[in-house]
Every structure is written in C-alpha cells, then in structure tokens.
Amino acid sequence: DVILEIDVQGAASVRGTGLDSVSVFIIPPSFEVLRGRLGGRSTESAEALALRLNNSRAEVEQYREFDYVLLNDELERAAAQLAAIVYAERARRERQEPLAQRVLATFPPASRAL
C-alpha cells in the first residue's frame, strides 16, 4: 500500500492514470476550523494563506470525486476511520481473488464432495 498526501489536482492526476487507487477526501469540520488551523501553523505568508482560504470552498466542493470522505475533527477517530478504509479495501473481492481461488482449489469437485 502507498499513501499519498496530495491536493485535489494531484488526486485528479492519479485518477487519470488508470492505476488501481482509492481516494479519501479529508474534509475539515468547518471553514472556521480550517482558517484557525492554517493560521495557527504560521508556515505561510498572509497572501498565501488568503489565497488558500479563498480557494478552499472550490476544493471542498470536489469531495464528490473521491471514493471516501473522512471528517478531520478528532485525530484518533479520523486515524481509525482511515485504517478501516485501508482494511476494507484490502478485503475487496477483486483484491482477494487469488486467495479465494487458492482456497477453492483445495475443495473436491461438487459431484465428489461427499
């Protein structure tokens, strides 16, 4: 498994490759929370922060393009949800086909089962 932390444009690029991928949109609880988090980091200039905030609604509107939406409100809960997504995707029938075929091969043909 590979996990990429990318923006919506990067996710669109990955989807465009046709590779088997699962996308998770991590959504903030609200605009105010997002503003507080980004502002509290002090990693961007005021202009860069304003640009990100101005673009934030357009980015959040892209959530429909993703396979899953994860609310980023409580770290432990969000991490548990992400782990659940990873486990569920690993168990998808398409991904378990080789395992199922191996197990099936251990069974006798239906006419000779008894």
- Model pLDDT, residue 2: 86
Give per-10-residue mean pLDDT for the chain (114 aa).
89 92 96 92 87 94 96 97 96 95 93 67
- Residue 113: predicted pLDDT: 60
The pLDDT value recorded for residue 114 is 62
At residue 1, the pLDDT reads 81
pTM to 2 decimal places = 0.81
Q: How far apart are CA 35 and CA 61, in angstroms?
A: 17
Burial class (CB in 10 A: 0-12, 13-18, 19+), 38: middle
The domain ranges of the chain are 8-112
* Angle at alpha carbon of residue 101, lines to 96 and 3, rounded to 5°: 20
Measured between alpha carbons, how far is residue 101 from residues 10, 105, 111 in Å? Answer: 36, 6, 19
DSSP label at residue 24 = E
Structural domain 8-112, CATH architecture: 3-Layer(aba) Sandwich (3.40)
At residue 75, the pLDDT reads 96
Q: Which residue has the tokens 């199922």?
A: 100
What is the per-residue pLDDT for 58? 95
Q: Which pLDDT belongs to residue 82?
A: 96
